[in-house]
Chains A and B, each alone.
Chain A
Amino acid sequence: MTALVRLSGLQIAACKDGGVTSIVRDIDLCVEAGEVLALIGESGSGKTTIALALLGYARPGCRITGGEIEVAGHRIDRMDEAALRTLRGRVVAYVAQSAAAAFNPMLTIMRQVIEPALVHGLMDRAAAETKARGLFRALALPDPDTVGDRYPHQVSGGQLQRLMAAMALITDPALVIFDEPTTALDVTTQIEVLKAFKTVVRDLGTTAVYVSHDLAVVAQIADRICVLRGGTVQEQGKADQILHAPAHAYSRALVGAAAPRVPAEPIAMPPPAPGEAPLLELRDIVAGYGGLDANGRPKACILDKVSLTIRRGRTLGVIGESGSGKSTLARVVAGLHSAAQGYVNLNGVPLASRIADRSREDLRRVQLVFQNADTALNPAMRVGQTVGRPLTFFHGLRGRTRAAEVARLFDLVRLPAAIADRLPGELSGGQKQRVNLARALAARPDLLLCDEVTSALDPVVAEAVLDLLVDLRRELGVAYMFITHDIERVRAIADDVMVLYGGCQMELADARALGSGPHHPYSRLLMASVPHLKAGWLETTMDPFAPVPGQAGATADGCRFFSRCALAMPGTCDLVRPASLVADDRLIACHRELAEL
């Protein structure tokens, strides 16, 4: 076999502030025809930069400074812009990370999908449209004959990602580059898209470079894996070898971070005194946007009758996909969003629904850790000051005592004290998230609301932050509401787990009971959708969208999960909101019997 793609000695540099920094160094890679090569690494490892170089493209500010790039016999490094244009989209095609951003919102989908075929003069419009519809069908898109007439905002993210793949495949390119194509999707959607990609790649014998940071995803689709870090290749080899016998230390760390976490040791807490109120109690919270209707419900209802309790020092995991209302839940507790109905009690005393009406003591007790430390930290303020301000505000500390306390907090989150003089822009993502955490801890809260605090971090860094959270809980006895879309993370850190779907509580269970005994069909779907670090897992996992004929959607009073539920009972589930089934360690909102789940 001959190599279809060959990179040798590839060098890419970034020009910034007059200086030139090398961001990719000495890359030697080969991809054989019909093979899928995965480029894996954390953010900043250069994986996307290398993939784009295969198109002869460098993002603004970057420049390919050396090395040979050869794709299907074309020497890309020697081509000028006009020659590259005839190659892009025809010989090498690109599937971008966020199809939602990569589709032009002003043009219909079909027009964009067939554009590569038209600009390269490969076929006429009618032939291209026929071919596109064939690809839509092959990619298991719903309504393949009409989906092309829609605009990008009218289809879901998972569908857009597959439509983008159709756009790449329409010219039968020699090489397709998939750049983190499933990263922005929910786990349940990710499987659907991965399956579609894998089927087409296999059926068409496509050669592909698949860029990802997620080893478990890569395990499903790649023949070979190349591990990158800091712009250099750490290790490359067959997928099996990298997954099961990684030689390089960094590959081992990656594989270790991708493996399911061992749940933290349960922390022994003294049993609550009889009559002691729980730390946090929410009853029948209804919240949303828009005005209220006659029943006092918001027009766009984001949370629908959510109830929960968190006891002192315990951790509740809240899990759900995007749009399930989990961030709104944290905002309601923090007082950033007023609930339309229901109440929030802290230590048995009602909390004001608006943050402006809360006492300083109430503010101190509940602290929110934002998802994105990049935007949560003031970029113009030294991080020591960011952490020090709540110390002054809540505890009146100033001067030396405040500096000492800041140093203690940095020590607590395992950061060197010298970091206090730095600006957020000078810190890494993981360090920023630790500062973010230290800022919340400075208030000495009873409850930390952690909203997707590890989602923006690379796997290895995210693991370390999770470890830190577990340690802090042991040292400080603080309670967490841990909000995430990742069921594995929840399992590792939480005592109890609440599953949200469409703003409704589907299940409330003991975290250790997840995976055994009866579960809500949606919880099962979530658990089944987490990719395993094992080749061939994708083929054996159940189809999360097992089509149920004639199951369009539920009425407003029906179960929110009806249209996607494999166990739905039309005539009941689409009309009536289910009551909760109660077992000893779980509550499941379903019409089925416990034994059926």
Chain B
Amino acid sequence: MTASLWVTRLIAGRIASAVFTLFLVSLAVFAVSLLMGGDAAEAILGQSATPEALAGLRASMHLDQPAPQRYLGWLIGLLHGDPGTSLVTGRPIGGMIAPRLANSLLLAGLTALVSVPVALTLGILAAVKRGGTFDRVVGIATIGIVSVPEFLIATVAVLIFAVTLHWLPALSSLRDVDSIYELLRVFALPVMSLACVTVAQMIRMTRAAVCDALTSSYVEAARLKGVPPRRLVLGHALPNAIGPIANAVALSLSALLGGVIVIEVIFNYPGVARLMVDAVATRDMPLVQTVAMIFSASYLVLVTTADIVAILANPRLRHQ
């Protein structure tokens, strides 16, 4: 078997297992939405519900079909790119989610853009200067930040920068954004709050991976060849830390997905997560399920990408 074929098969296997996992997730999401109890018909009719009205509404929303049949219909729809219609607004879910998803991706993307370079730089520096004052300060700071939940960070940040200092807006509405400056002002607080949590995790794991590589025999051998410190870290230790670092980044960014929900609610940001929170309140199950699937899929994409990066970065896997 040629090397490239081997790698292709390895990667194809990873992707296949991710797709299979997503299928299992769809089962779980559907099952959990069944367990939540109550249904959209009750939520819509509220106090005025009569048994006849409920039955009629349920029939028109296909809620009277048995669960496996509803699941299959939903799954087939998803595969065709049609997640169905909202039970509450009656509008197609795809159309409801698209602009919100773009907003959420913008928020997550900006956070990643800020946090990944900061985390890698601080993590690598802490590893190089391990045991020193810098390392200890970074270590204590990351532990401190990891232990504080993001809603607290966000609330305190709003108190300081918006309420007391009036530097930044407390709510992140995208309606009156017409310049880069405005954009930065609007995103500063949510991005900062989200970045705090992800950066701390990434710093710790990057530091551990680079420390591991720096204490290896091959780095000692390179040092004894007279390799200068910068090249020692960037040329010898870092390539060996790429796999673990890619995984750390993927895990932290997927934790970001959970953080987005809280942050969007606090800053009243029109993203996909807030849509989900609203949908849960109105028992709009197709919408809840679709958003849950989007979150799961993004998580799997991140983790699978990290796996593939680790495979491609490792010559032992590249050249079997």
- Chain B binding surface SS class: helix
Tell me how many residue pairs across A and B have CB atoms closer than 8 Å.
80
Contacts of B239 in A (CB 8 A): 104, 106-107
A89 interfacial by beta-carbon distance below 8 Å: yes
Residues in A with CB closer than 8 Å to B219 are 104
**Which of B216, B218, B319 has the largest number of chain A CB atoms within 10 A?**
B218
Among the 9-residue stretches B138-146, B148-156, B222-230, the one with 4 or more Cβ atoms under 8 Å from chain A is: B222-230
User: B226 to chain A: which residues have CB within 8 Å?
Assistant: 85-90, 116, 119-120
Q: Kindly list chain A residues whose C-beta atoms are within 8 Å of the C-beta of B9.
A: none
Contact pattern, B 209-226, Cβ under 8 Å of A = 1, otherwise 0: 000000111111111111
Q: Is A74 positioned at the interface, with any CB of B under 8 Å from its CB?
A: no
For window 427-476 of chain A, which residues contact chain B by CB distance below 8 Å?
Answer: none
With A106-B240, A106-B315 known to touch, is A119 a contact of B217 (CB < 8 Å)? no
Nearest chain B CB to A142's CB is how many angstroms away?
18
Q: Which residues of B contact A104 (CB under 8 A)?
A: 218-219, 222, 236, 239-240
Residue in A59, A93, A106, A154 with the greatest tally of chain B CB atoms within 10 Å: A106
Contact with B along A487-526 (1 / 0, CB 8 A): 0000000000000000000000000000000000000000
B314 within 8 A of A: yes
Given contact pairs A96-B221, A104-B219, enumerate 17 new A-B contacts (beta carbons under 8 Å).
A57-B224, A59-B220, A93-B224, A94-B221, A102-B217, A104-B222, A104-B240, A105-B314, A106-B314, A107-B235, A107-B236, A119-B227, A119-B231, A120-B226, A151-B315, A151-B316, A167-B225
CB of A116 within 8 A of CB of B225, answer: yes
Task: Please determine whether B240 and A119 come into contact, CB atoms closer than 8 angstroms.
Answer: no
Compute how far the CA of A120 lies from the CA of B220 in the bound complex, rounded to whole angstroms.
17
Q: Which residues of A contact B218 (CB under 8 A)?
A: 101-105
Is A98 positioned at the interface, with any CB of B under 8 Å from its CB? Answer: yes
Which 4 A-B residue pairings sit nearest by Cβ, starting from the closest?
Answer: A89-B226, A89-B225, A101-B217, A102-B221
* Inter-chain contact B313/A106, CB cutoff 8 Å: yes
CB-based contact A153/B316 at 8 Å: yes
B window 36-56: CB within 8 A of A: none
Residues of B with C-beta under 8 A to A88: 223-226
Residue A55 interfacial (CB < 8 Å): yes
Q: A96-B217, A98-B217, A119-B231 are in contact. Are A105 and B315 (CB under 8 A)?
A: yes
**Residue interface mask B263-279, A partner, CB < 8 A = 1:** 00000000000000000
| Residues 284-320 of B contacting A (Cβ, < 8 Å) | 313-316, 319
CB-CB under 8 A for A55 and B236, given A98-B217, A105-B218 = no
Cα-based distance from A391 to B207 in the complex (angstroms): 47
Interface residues of A in 43-73 (CB under 8 A from B): 52, 55, 57, 59-60
Q: How many Å lie between the Cα of A486 and that of B130 in the bound state?
A: 43
B residues sitting closer than 8 Å to A (CB atoms) are 215-228, 231, 235-236, 239-240, 313-316, 319
Q: Write the chain B residue with the least CB distance to A153.
A: B316
Residue of B nearest to A164 (CB): B221
Quick check: is A172 within 8 A (CB to CB) of the other chain?
Answer: no
5 contacts between A and B (CB under 8 A): A88-B225, A98-B217, A105-B315, A105-B316, A106-B314
CB pair A57 B319 closer than 8 Å: no
Question: What B residues does A106 contact at CB under 8 A?
Answer: 239-240, 313-315
Bound-state CA distance A94–B223 (Å) is: 10
Whole-angstrom distance between the alpha carbons of A85 and B230 in the complex? 12
* Closest-CB distance, A163 to chain B (whole angstroms): 12
CA distance A88 to B220 in the complex (A): 12
Find out whether the CB atom of B221 lies under 8 angstroms from the CB atom of A105. Answer: no
- Tell me the residues in window 118-138 of chain A with beta carbons closer than 8 Å to chain B beta carbons: 119-120
What chain B residues lie within 8 Å of A103 (beta carbons)?
218, 221
Give complex CA distance A93, B239 in Å: 24
| Bound CA span A424–B162, Å | 62
Whether, in the assembled complex, A115 has its beta carbon less than 8 Å from a beta carbon of chain B, the answer is yes
Q: In the bound complex, do residue A151 and residue B319 qualify as a contact, i.e. CB atoms below 8 Å apart?
A: yes
Closest to B217 in A: A101
- Tell me the bound Cα distance from A164 to B220 in angstroms: 14
Are B224 and A89 in touch, CB under 8 angstroms? yes
The residues of A that contact B222 with a CB separation of less than 8 Å are: 104, 112, 115
Q: How far is the CA of A86 from the CA of B225 in the complex (A)?
A: 9
Contact flag A55-B224 (CB < 8 Å), given A104-B239, A107-B239, A151-B316: yes
Min CB–CB distance A152 → chain B (angstroms): 8
A66 to B276, CA, bound (A): 70
Q: Which residues from chain B contact A154 at a C-beta distance below 8 Å?
A: 319
Residues of B near A105 (CB, < 8 A) are 218, 240, 314-316
Separation of A57 and B215 alpha carbons in the complex (Å)? 15
Contacts of B216 in A (CB 8 A): 101
CA distance A154 to B314 in the complex (A): 13
Min CB distance A367 to B, Å, is 35
In angstroms, how far is the closest chain B Cβ from the Cβ of A414? 36
* Residues of chain B contacted by A60 (CB below 8 angstroms): 215
Determine the distance from Cα of A116 to Cα of B223 in the docked complex, in whole angstroms: 10
Shortest distance in angstroms between A286's beta carbon and chain B's nearest beta carbon? 25
Q: Are B228 and A119 in contact (CB under 8 A)?
A: yes
Taking CB atoms, residues of chain A closer than 8 Å to B236 are 104, 107
**In the complex, A119 Cα to B220 Cα: how many Å?**
16
